[in-house]
Amino acid sequence: MSKVNLLKPNKENINLFLGLGVSFFILGILDFYLNNFYDKNITSFLPGFISYFTPLIFGMIGLHFVRIEFSGIKQLDKLNKNINTSNFNAALSFSIILLLIFSIPPLLNWFIFDANIAGDTKEACTGGGACWVYIKVWFNRFMYGMYPNAEQWRVNATFIIVFIFMGLGYFFPLRFKKYLTLYYVIFLPVISFLLIYYLISGGEFGLEWVETGAWGGLSLTFIVAFFSLIFCFPIGMMLALGRRSDLPVVKYSSLTFIEFWRGVPLITVLFMSAVMFPMFLPDGTYVDKLIRVIAAIVLFEAAYTAEVIRGGLQALPRGQYDAAKSLGMGYWRLHLLVILPQALKLVIPGIANTFLALVKDTPLIFVVGLLELAGMLGLAKTNPKWLGFSMEGYVFAGIIFWIICYSMSKYSYNLELKYKTDR
């Protein structure tokens, strides 16, 4: 056994250092645990300020002792390399471990162990944790707004049919592939519009008419986001082409339009659609609130879409334009047959990101009185029978939105990777 230098842990005394390190580490965690969950301070004999930091100091000493290079133990080497390269790193790692110990048990208790899910009334919630009964009772309202319960199958049916039509594009036989863009840009929007008009709104074919004011919840979020996307795409495309045009009037009017909408917040645009827009129409014209909102969002998002598409147009090499021109193609043939098909393929990930931003923006429509998910939560938490459950509501909505947005962002990231390798 060689000389022991406590400042420089070495391989010769590995058992001693490992023993010391692990015990200090455990001591640090124990100190922290007792302090936070049992109100016992085992280092209370030290002055207050130092006693506050003892868990961290113990942990750092522990990690210092186990920091042995080439110890021959695979797990230890891996640990040192990943979380324990220097004293500073050890302190950070240990703080994160303490933070996890501090936050995870109370969170788990609130979410699962102390939570209530059985029952139908507020009185069923007796534990100190979350009251999922509230979510259970209000679930239909959160999904469909004030849409009558008996008619909700219509909303579901519409969404399922639209999804089936969207998926159909994948199974197109090869010789119809050239109509794919046409299918997605014209046929699908028309189909979805008809479905929403006849099936969700109703009023014909013996279906009860449901006014747009009653639509709401998560389904409204999707309706607004989907429609805005469909319409802002062609407008954005025209604006992008206009911005790159050689004609000064076209160029500067597109530029002004884009910069104007990009410079103002969406909430003022929605205000505009609610209070200013009716002033601009002939007296007595009534445009449905939902349509006004969608029109406002379309104008707003078209400006962003235009910038995304412009990025795709700029990424194409000049040779594409020159080659098409040398074949004698005019402006429209050049763009429709050569430039746009390539540029649009490049910007699919960007469009997916725009759609993601759109979904995250839709809760804003509460300012004009349309209640999608976040708006419904605001309504539910003021219901006198269910006061005091705003936390559960927001956590629930947060989880739903997080799942949607996270999967969409992962999808667009994968698309990005896919199209990168293509070129």
Partner 1 sequence: MKLKKILPQVLTLLFIVLIFGFFTMNAQENMDTRGIEFGFGFLKQEASFDIQFSLIDYDGSKSYARAYLVGLLNTLLVSVIGIVLCTILGVIIGVARLSPNYLINRTASVYIEFFRNIPLLLQIFFWYFAALRALPMPEDAPLLLGTSFMTIKGLFTPAPVWNNFDVFLITLIISLIIIFFFNKYAKKKQEEAGIQYPKFLISIGIFILVPALTFIFGGVDLTWSFPELKQLAKTSYTYEGGVGIPPELIALTLALTLYTATFIAENVRAGIQGIGKGQKEAAASIGLTTVQVLKLVIMPQALRIIIPPTTNQYLNLTKNSSLAAAIAYPDLVLVFAGTAMMQTGRAIEIVAITMATYLTISLSISLFMNWYNKSIAIKEK
Q: Rule CB under 8 A: which residues touch partner 1?
A: 82-83, 85, 89, 92-93, 96-97, 246-250, 253, 260, 262-268, 271-272, 275-276, 278-283, 359-364, 366-367, 374, 377-378, 381, 390-391, 394-395, 397-398, 401-402, 405-406, 409
Residue 370: CB minimum distance to partner 1, A: 13
Give min distance, CB of 14 to partner 1, in A.
23
For partner 1, the closer CB: 141 or 154: 141
Cα distance between residue 154 and residue 201, in whole Å? 9
Q: By C-beta, is 1 or 247 nearer to partner 1?
A: 247
Residue 288 backbone zone (phi > 0: left; psi -120 to 50: alpha; other: beta): beta
Minimum Å gap between C-beta 264 and partner 1 is 5
Tokens of 319: 């040779």
Residues contacting residue 243 through CB under 8 Å, at least 6 positions apart: 251, 254, 255, 258, 306, 310
Query: Taking the complex as a whole, how short is the minimal distance between the CB of residue 284 and partner 1, in angstroms?
Result: 10
User: Based on CB atoms, which residue is closest to partner 1, 96 or 190?
Assistant: 96
Residue 198: CB minimum distance to partner 1, A: 30
Task: Name the minimum Å distance from CB 105 to partner 1.
Answer: 18
Q: 190 or 403: whose CB is closer to partner 1?
A: 403
The rounded distance, in Å, linking the Cα atoms of 28 and 34 is 10
Q: Which residues of 212-223 are buried (b: 16+ CB within 10 A; e: fewer)?
A: beebbbbbbbbb
- For residue 297, give the nearest of 361, 204, 221 by alpha carbon: 361
Shortest distance, position 367 Cβ to partner 1, whole Å: 7
| Token output for 191 | 């189909």
172 versus 406: smaller Cβ distance to partner 1: 406
- Which two tokens mark 397? 């909505």
376, 217 contact by CB (below 8 A)? yes
3-state secondary structure of 388: coil
Residue type, 261: W
Cβ contacts of 241 within 8 Å, gap of 6 or more: 313, 335
The structure tokens 């969002």 sit at 297
Nearer to partner 1, 364 or 370 (CB): 364
Comparison of 13 and 231: residue with beta carbon closer to partner 1: 231
